[in-house]
Amino acid sequence: MSDRLTIVFMPESAYGPTNNCIGIGKVLERRGHRVIFAAEASWKGRLEPLGFEEDLVDLAPPPDDGAEQDAGQFWTDFVIETAPEFRKPTIEQLATFIEPVWSSLMDGAMFCEPQLRAILDRAQPDVIVEDNVNAFPALLTHGTPWVRIMSCNPLEMKDPDLPPTFSGYPLDDPSGWDGFRAEYERTHRATWERYDAFMTGNGAPPLPDLEFIHESDHLNLFVYPEVADYPRSRPLSPTWHRLDSSVRGTEDPWEIPDELRRRGGGLVYLSLGSLGSADVDLMKRLVSVLAETPHRYVVSKGPRAAEFDLPDNMWGEARLPQTSIIPACDLVITHGGNNTTTEALHFGKPMIVLPLFWDQFDNAQRMAELGLGVRLPTYDFEDDELRDAVGQLLADGDLRRRMAVEGERIRARDGKTRAADLIEETAVRHRIHD
């Protein structure tokens, strides 16, 4: 298109949403648009090299020593502090992990609200794109159309005939659903009331009951392939559009290291994400168990990489170009974060899912009940359970062929280009109506 648009992205500080926005934003930047990231301040210097402008926000007061944090450090620190909660059943995590996460998100949004208003005043965007799980008054009251991206499991959009969000409960057994929903209300009602008052006090519309974000009146996008989606009893509104995947193309090329190329066996990618890998004891156990298999492993070691070593059948670094590695592998062992889950499906790879928190339990359950992978209890699996799951999935030729076909279909739908098209159309339609 000939008209140059100004597009502001505001992703959550974690790697998943930010990388999702990077993939879409890069398509828009290549089309000649001005793309600004109002990301959290620890991303300083990581977005400009990709062609974006940075106008960043603090979610909390800067450290007293003035030291710069690694990208996403805000949530890495939070997870390290609360990691013992991951051993609890999902219904018990509601009070001790899920609600504290929401409270932390609320505090961050309240702290950055004046900064965010100033960013939008400077940018004067044609469209605002938010990939967050909570709303921000500034985005809703600026007078610019805003786009919601839901780069989480689709259960984030509730349906009475689907399992409750964050539960990891099966689709075919509703026996625990009502109890989980009641516990969610008990543990979250006061937090929701506090945030709803903040939203309306800053000129934004009231929040839907027990929800921390609105649907956009303009455009809503969700990232989940059709093959893995849920059967809804009531359709989403017409403003919702599916992105089967949204895989960034900004990562470095990757080749199998010589020390792995010379060995036999399958090639497996192991990543618990930037947050899950901060649990070093869990990473050490996984490495130890998998060392006793005849296969090769590429390990994303995470922010505490220096605290553990890898055996001879493994190679890894603190940060790896995930979307360049997964295509070369035969199997993915993951925490079930939405980005890694949809990327594995995008490249047609089966999964072993070891969920820790949030929607990871929902993704783990969905992959298992669809036969696209194996769900294991992250802290309570038996050593042989994990080793057997690796061997089983690597030997299942029918599954691997099925997933290769689905991966081709997902890639052909080109989710990030579709997202860029829809964001452009939303901005142009608003300009015309103005």
Q: What is the 3-state secondary structure (H, E, C) of 341-366?
A: HHHHHHCCCCEEECCCCCCHHHHHHH
Q: What is the pLDDT of residue 249?
A: 75
Distance separating alpha carbons of residues 314 and 317, to the nearest angstrom? 10
Say if 1 falls within a structural domain.
no
Same domain membership, residue 389 and residue 362: yes
**123 in helix, strand or coil?**
helix
Distances (CA, A) of 222 to 191, 241, 353, 388: 25, 6, 21, 34
Same domain membership, residue 419 and residue 350: no
What's the angle, vertex CA 276, arms to CA 270 and CA 280, rounded to 5? Answer: 85
Give me the residue label for tokens 């997933």. Answer: 403
- What band does 79 get if pLDDT is binned at 50, 70 and 90? low
- What band does 126 get if pLDDT is binned at 50, 70 and 90? very high
Say if 332 falls within a structural domain.
yes
Q: What is the pLDDT of residue 273?
A: 86
272 contacts 334 by C-beta, under 8 angstroms = yes
Same domain membership, residue 185 and residue 308: no
One-letter amino acid at 320 equals L
Residue 278 pLDDT > 90, yes or no?
A: no
75 contacts 275 by C-beta, under 8 angstroms = yes
Same domain membership, residue 344 and residue 207: no
Same domain membership, residue 303 and residue 185: no
Residue 140 pLDDT > 50, yes or no?
A: yes
Average pLDDT of the chain? 92
> Any idea which of 76-80, 234-238, 340-344, 411-415 has the lowest mean pLDDT?
76-80
Residue 23 pLDDT > 50, yes or no?
A: yes
Looking at residue 428, which CATH number applies to its domain?
A: 3.40.50.2000
Q: What is the pLDDT of residue 60?
A: 82
What is the residue range of 55's domain? 6-249+414-433
Q: Which residue from 236, 317, 309 is spatially nearest to 271, judged by alpha carbons?
A: 317
15 contacts 431 by C-beta, under 8 angstroms = no
Q: What is the pLDDT of residue 74?
A: 62
Same domain membership, residue 426 and residue 379: no
Mean of pLDDT values over 402-411? 96
**36-72: pLDDT as tens digits:** 999 998 889 999 999 999 999 998 887 665 555 565 5
Q: What is the pLDDT of residue 76?
A: 63
Say if 66 falls within a structural domain.
yes
Same domain membership, residue 275 and residue 232: no
Same domain membership, residue 158 and residue 273: no
Mean of pLDDT values over 205-221? 97
Say if 363 falls within a structural domain.
yes
128 contacts 35 by C-beta, under 8 angstroms = no
Same domain membership, residue 182 and residue 303: no
Mean of pLDDT values over 138-161? 96
Q: What is the pLDDT of residue 194?
A: 97
52 contacts 123 by C-beta, under 8 angstroms = no
**84-108: pLDDT as tens digits:** 788 899 999 999 999 999 999 999 9
- What band does 188 get if pLDDT is binned at 50, 70 and 90? very high
**312-334: pLDDT as tens digits:** 999 999 889 999 999 999 999 99
Same domain membership, residue 426 and residue 317: no
Q: Rounded to two decimals, what is the model's pTM?
A: 0.92
Q: What is the pLDDT of residue 92?
A: 96
Say if 113 falls within a structural domain.
yes
Say if 351 falls within a structural domain.
yes
**Higher local confidence (pLDDT), 46 or 250:** 46
Q: What is the pLDDT of residue 248?
A: 79
Q: Which residue from 327, 334, 412 is spatially nearest to 368, judged by alpha carbons?
A: 334
Indicate the number of domains in the chain. 2
Beta partners for residue 8, in sequence order: 36, 128
b/e map 38-47, b = 16+ CB within 10 Å: bbbbbbeebb
Same domain membership, residue 320 and residue 178: no
Q: What is the pLDDT of residue 1?
A: 45
Say if 305 falls within a structural domain.
yes
Q: What is the pLDDT of residue 61?
A: 81
Say if 212 falls within a structural domain.
yes
Residue 75 pLDDT > 70, yes or no?
A: no
Same domain membership, residue 229 and residue 269: no
Percent of the chain with pLDDT over 70: 94
Q: What is the pLDDT of residue 373?
A: 95
